[in-house]
Amino acid sequence: MMRRDRDDALSEVIGFVLILGVIAIAVSLYLTYSVPVHGREMEIAHMNYIKEQLMGMKGDIDSLWINNKPGFRLYRSVNLGTQGSSAQGGFISIPLLTPLGSSGTLAINERNDRIKITTIPLPARLESRSDTILYPGIPALLNITHTPDRSIYIVDNKGTIGITIAQTTSNITISTTKMGAPVLSNLTIVNNPLSGQIYPVNLLDDSYGLNSGISYPFYLEISSGADTAGFSIPGKYALQGLPLDLPVDHEMGSVEYRSKNNYWIFQDYYYQNGGVFLRQDDGMAVKVNPEISITQKEGYTIVSVVDIRIKEPPGISQVSGTGPVQVSQSIDPVRHSVITDLEEVSIIVQPSGNDAATANMWCSVFGTVPIPQSPTNEARLTVYGNQVILDYIEVPVSVTLQSNIAI
């Protein structure tokens, strides 16, 4: 009888040990297969989140310069890591069985890629007119400084276009005529204008209905009988900003996220010159193209460049970890310049450290082939023609980082 009791006790111990063994095998299989799968899914989702954040940053900066908002700051919060969060599963409440949280680094201006823009003018020719010359595809901007009860009349040299801009204390309106027939009447373009504030108005906006039938180039003149106080046409080509100093040659700057993934491949996303790019072990890819384009209009070739330059940050230039970082963006006054009568425009990107992968990626942006003989592995876009116009917008951007923020 005593022996049978001992056998029963031994069977219970053996059974308990077997159960523990089964549990250990199950946990081991979960750690070996399920945890890495959950971790990889989390890190892939986080890298997509980083891409969306940089695209959102591009949208923020674009909205600032398009709406001419220098000094206005936009903020966003960016999580640097997965912070140990996991997908739903049977063991996720046990920390030991949770995927390790990834981390990352957000850095400003740690890439030293440069952009250069050079031009070759057409042979010199005499120009007898001193008034404003307008070319296709180039906005005709009129700067309006609010002064109550003033108006201005603008016609081209043939008298085919008439524009009246009237100001009161409550609004600024525009009326247009073509060949003597009214097109618009008292369309409000600015509500509640501020005294002394400059409001640029593009006279060739499609909504004003003046573009059709225009032959380029044509001229704008302020009629001699109008009271022109409070109005100005800036620059030789009716554009805001300072003359363009050539050649353009500076570092583009960047906002870059470098991942430190545990289950997925290392990926670096970065925003540069208006584009969003991805770098990983097997190469580089363009996620959003920079603001560089070539268009043909009325026999002219127009090279448009929005040169978004990230300035050196006043504070910290990088933050590493897993938690949130506050990113703020603002712009300085935008410089818009146009150079006409060119026979050649070249845009050159020189990657930091003569990096061939970066050069090849920019060649794909330009739609050109790499330059293997170049010692700097540069990417180059050269546009030739009898009438080439460079439409250049420079946007200086300030980006600051602040960690340990309350969310």
The answer to whether 189 and 172 have CB atoms below 8 angstroms apart is yes
pLDDT value at position 313?
A: 85
The answer to whether 199 and 172 have CB atoms below 8 angstroms apart is yes
The Cα 367–Cα 379 span in angstroms is 10
The answer to whether 166 and 189 have CB atoms below 8 angstroms apart is no
Range from 15-19, 61-65, 234-238, 287-291 carrying the lowest mean pLDDT: 234-238
The Cα 108–Cα 398 span in angstroms is 10
The answer to whether 292 and 276 have CB atoms below 8 angstroms apart is no
Residue 51, SS3 per DSSP: helix
Range from 160-169, 186-195, 251-260, 333-342 carrying the lowest mean pLDDT: 160-169
Which helix (H) or strand (E) is 404 found in, with range?
Answer: none
What contacts 40, CB < 8 A, 6 or more positions away? Answer: 263, 264
Give tens-digit pLDDT for 214-250: 656 555 555 444 444 444 444 333 333 334 566 789 9
pLDDT over 60 (residue 126): no
pLDDT over 80 (residue 322): yes
pLDDT over 50 (residue 116): yes
Global pTM reads 0.70
Which residues, in sequence order, are bridge partners of residue 294? Answer: 303
Residue 240, SS3 per DSSP: coil
- Predicted confidence band at 6 (pLDDT cuts at 50, 70, 90)? low
Q: Quick count: other Cβ atoms within 10 Å of Cβ 99?
A: 24
Per the prediction, the chain carries an average pLDDT of 76
Residue 373, SS3 per DSSP: coil
Distances (CA, A) of 166 to 144, 155, 193, 395: 10, 15, 12, 31
Pairing of strands 198-202, 141-145: antiparallel
Give tens-digit pLDDT for 146-166: 554 444 445 554 545 566 666
Give every strand in the sheet of 218-222, ordered side by side.
Answer: 132-134, 218-222, 151-156, 161-167, 171-178, 181-191
Range from 34-43, 224-233, 359-368 carrying the lowest mean pLDDT: 224-233
Q: Which amino acid is at 211?
A: N
Instruction: State the Cα torsion 59-64-67-69 to the nearest 10°.
Output: 170
When pLDDT is averaged across residues 259-272 and rounded to a whole number, the result is: 91
The answer to whether 136 and 300 have CB atoms below 8 angstroms apart is yes
Residue 131, SS3 per DSSP: coil
The answer to whether 192 and 148 have CB atoms below 8 angstroms apart is no
- Using alpha carbons, select from 274, 275, 253, 305 the residue that is nearest to residue 117: 305
Residue 64: HSE in the Cβ half-sphere, 13 Å Cα cutoff: 27
Question: Which one has a higher pLDDT value, 302 or 299?
Answer: 302
Task: Give domain limits for the chain.
Answer: 47-121+243-403, 139-232
Which residues, in sequence order, are bridge partners of residue 143? Answer: 200, 232
Q: Quick count: other Cβ atoms within 10 Å of Cβ 284?
A: 17
Residue 241, both tokens:
């900003």
Q: What is the DSSP string of 270-330?
A: EEETTEEEEEETTEEEEEE--SEEEEEETTEEEEEEEEEEEPPPSS-SEEEESSEEEEEEE
Residue 82, both tokens:
């997965």
3-state helix, strand, coil in the chain (%, to 5): 20, 40, 35
When pLDDT is averaged across residues 197-219 and rounded to a whole number, the result is: 65
Q: Which amino acid is at 217?
A: P
- Predicted confidence band at 170 (pLDDT cuts at 50, 70, 90)? confident
Instruction: Establish whether the linkage from the previous residue to 95 is cis, with ω within 30° of 0.
Output: no
